[in-house]
Amino acid sequence: DAGVIQSPRHEVTEMGQEVTLRCKPISGHDYLFWYRQTMMRGLELLIYFNNNVPIDDSGMPEDRFSAKMPNASFSTLKIQPSEPRDSAVYFCASSGTPYGYTFGSGTRLTVV
């Protein structure tokens, strides 16, 4: 099993541009989570899906952020327009249970 796969590993973009982060969960895992990590705030849950359905998006900062899971093997997190304060490491995690998480390697986003 290849684990949770995220792309890209690094993204540098200019303020105002659209950014799309991608995640492929572990096959058979019903839960998918998007987290953001910064030095100041640690790991924050943005949104999670169960069986491709968004369950809790209360952590999504604002309307500039959106997430989709069109099928069991793919999810995207989009930021439009991006701002410098969105700079962080974004992790995707999947699980076959509500709490047995496996994290991807993360996407390090820098907005200049």
Partner 1 sequence: RKEVEQDPGPFNVPEGATVAFNCTYSNSASQSFFWYRQDCRKEPKLLMSVYSSGNEDGRFTAQLNRASQYISLLIRDSKLSDSATYLCVVFGGSTDKLIFGTGTRLQVFP
Binding site for partner 1 (CB under 8 A): 33, 35, 41-43, 45, 48, 56, 91, 98-101, 103-106
Looking at beta carbons only, is 48 or 65 nearer to partner 1? 48
Torsion of the alpha carbons at 4, 69, 18 and 39, rounded to the nearest 10: -50
The answer for residues whose C-beta is within 8 angstroms of residue 32's C-beta and 6 or more apart is: 23, 25, 48, 49, 69, 75, 92, 93, 94
Looking at beta carbons only, is 81 or 103 nearer to partner 1? 103
Peptide bond into 25 cis (omega under 30): no
Residue 38 CB, shortest distance to partner 1, in Å, is 10
Looking at beta carbons only, is 12 or 15 nearer to partner 1? 12
Residue 80 CB, shortest distance to partner 1, in Å, is 25
Helix (H, G, I), strand (E, B) or coil at 87: coil
